[in-house]
Amino acid sequence: MVWKGILESNIRDLGELERQGLLSPDERERLAGVTGHHPMSVTPYYLSLIDWSDPGDPIRKMAIPCEGELSTIGSYDTSGERENTKLPGLQHKYSSTALVLVTNRCAVYCRHCFRKRLVGLPSEEILKRIEDAANYIARHGEISNVLLSGGDPFVLSNNAISLLLDKLSPIEHLDFIRFGTRTPIVLPRRILDDDLLSLLSEHSRPERRLFVVTQFNHPREITEDSIRAVDALLRAGVIVNNQSVLLKGVNDSPDVLADLQSGLVGIGVNPYYVFQCRPVKRVKNSFQVPLARGYRVVEDAKARLDGHSKRFKFVMSHRTGKIEVVGVMDGWMYFRYHEAKDPASMGKFFRRRLVPGAGWLEDLLERPPEKSPGDAVGAVVPHS
């Protein structure tokens, strides 16, 4: 298969970039400390999108290790994934959704990945037998949808994908199944595989569609090739939604973010979420935008967009739920639970005192410090 051959020719070695004249010996040496912790793997196609004359190139930033990754500020599990794991490879945080981690491999190891702890590394968090996940889901009638993620499910063989769908499709209480994947963006040829498209088409029926959730983060990822991949998915009857991550030096500008969202609508991809970058070790330092600035960027981008292109929500995927950032006023930041781990918090509106540079809920204050000097930072108690 063509795509497997491409994947085998991925660039995994900093020395290869040096041989191609893309990194200096000095840079190679400094970055070796990063790849010792988190492997590099980039498809030749995605590498070709980099403008090497620009040291701040956004595609480069997402694909090539940088020294910022040496910073270990943050945590490897910011959303409580371990505590939501019901069996190896299956998480059940929100009652209606099961998340299944089907692989630890990806076509490209994105430097900003929030599952950095496991992508490309040995992990006990990956599903061993789909039958076990299917049994769990079948026993839980409240689960209306399954998100297949990882890693990237589309680096699995067609046989493996077929098995996943064959086991999950018969579960009657499922309304839809989603694949979370970056392959349309980093390895579009994977999507143009006829056998994969027939498989998706067969399972995406008018009464129960398959969804693909992409992660386009920059308008330069919208290329002739990725447009063909999206078009092929749409023709196969698959619904395509996009969730971007707000990333410093990549899309933290209103113009870039607006171009991205309107470009996606133009090619038939629905804007779904813009995520606040999580405070992940070896990610936060290089990629996280302070919340207040992020909110401003998002609002200024929305001001440039039509209704369709600004349907996305700006959210933080927090340990307690998916928290929408709804506004900033008089030194307060306002939030609403879009999804909540505790059903009692669903829809709740609350606020936190802004702290300059704060990047995550725990960095904000529950009340102004002068009124409660001994107050700890970070208790998460929603106000109704």
Q: Which is nearer to ligand SF4, 115 or 284 (by Cβ)?
A: 115
Q: Of 43-51, 107-115, 328-336, 344-352, which segment contacts ligand SF4 by CB under 6 A? A: 107-115
Cα Rg of the chain (Å, integer): 21
| CA nearest to 301, candidates 355, 363, 258 | 258
Q: Give the separation between CA 305 and CA 208, rounded to whole angstroms.
A: 31
Letters for 261-300 (x = contact with ligand SF4 by CB under 6 A, - = none) are ----------------------------------------
| CA nearest to 62, candidates 43, 36, 37, 81 | 43
Q: Of 18-26, 104-112, 279-287, 353-361, which segment contacts ligand SF4 by CB under 6 A? A: 104-112
Q: Which is nearer to ligand SF4, 64 or 171 (by Cβ)?
A: 64
Quick check: 109 binds ligand SF4 (CB under 6 A)? yes
Q: Which is nearer to ligand SF4, 110 or 301 (by Cβ)?
A: 110
User: CB atoms < 10 A from the CB of 18, how many?
Assistant: 17
Among 17, 98, 119, 187, binds ligand SF4 (CB under 6 A): 119
Q: Of 139-147, 148-156, 269-277, 279-287, which segment contacts ligand SF4 by CB under 6 A? A: 148-156
Tell me the closest approach of the beta carbon of residue 76 to ligand SF4, in angstroms.
Answer: 13
Q: Which is nearer to ligand SF4, 104 or 345 (by Cβ)?
A: 104
Q: Which is nearer to ligand SF4, 257 or 292 (by Cβ)?
A: 257
Alpha carbon distances (Å) from 233 to 255, 258, 269: 28, 24, 10
Quick check: 185 binds ligand SF4 (CB under 6 A)? no
Q: Give the separation between CA 227 and CA 286, rounded to whole angstroms.
A: 29
Locus of tokens 């893309």: 22
Quick check: 382 binds ligand SF4 (CB under 6 A)? no
* Residues ≥6 apart with Cβ < 8 Å to 187: 3, 6, 7, 43, 45, 46, 107, 108
Q: Of 26-34, 103-111, 189-197, 234-242, which segment contacts ligand SF4 by CB under 6 A? A: 103-111
Quick check: 113 binds ligand SF4 (CB under 6 A)? yes
Length, in residues, of the chain: 384
Tell me the closest approach of the beta carbon of residue 106 to ligand SF4, in angstroms.
Answer: 3
Tell me the closest approach of the beta carbon of residue 119 to ligand SF4, in angstroms.
Answer: 4
Quick check: 177 binds ligand SF4 (CB under 6 A)? no
Quick check: 17 binds ligand SF4 (CB under 6 A)? no
Q: Say how many residues touch ligand SF4, by CB under 6 A.
A: 11
Strands 90-91 and 85-87 come out as: antiparallel
Quick check: 106 binds ligand SF4 (CB under 6 A)? yes
Alpha carbon distances (Å) from 274 to 73, 107, 197, 244: 23, 22, 28, 5
Q: Of 150-158, 205-213, 229-237, 366-374, which segment contacts ligand SF4 by CB under 6 A? A: 150-158
Letters for 206-245 (x = contact with ligand SF4 by CB under 6 A, - = none) are ---------x------------------------------
Alpha carbon distances (Å) from 330 to 192, 280, 293: 51, 29, 15
Q: Give the separation between CA 279 and CA 281, rounded to whole angstroms.
A: 7
Q: Give the separation between CA 206 and CA 360, rounded to whole angstroms.
A: 40
* Residues ≥6 apart with Cβ < 8 Å to 39: 12, 109, 120, 121
Among 27, 152, 324, 366, binds ligand SF4 (CB under 6 A): 152
Instruction: Count Cβ atoms within 10 A of the Cβ of residue 371 and give its class: 0-12 exposed, 13-18 middle, 19 or more buried.
Output: exposed
Residues at the site binding ligand SF4, with contacts judged by CB under 6 A? 106, 109-110, 113, 115, 119, 150-152, 182, 215
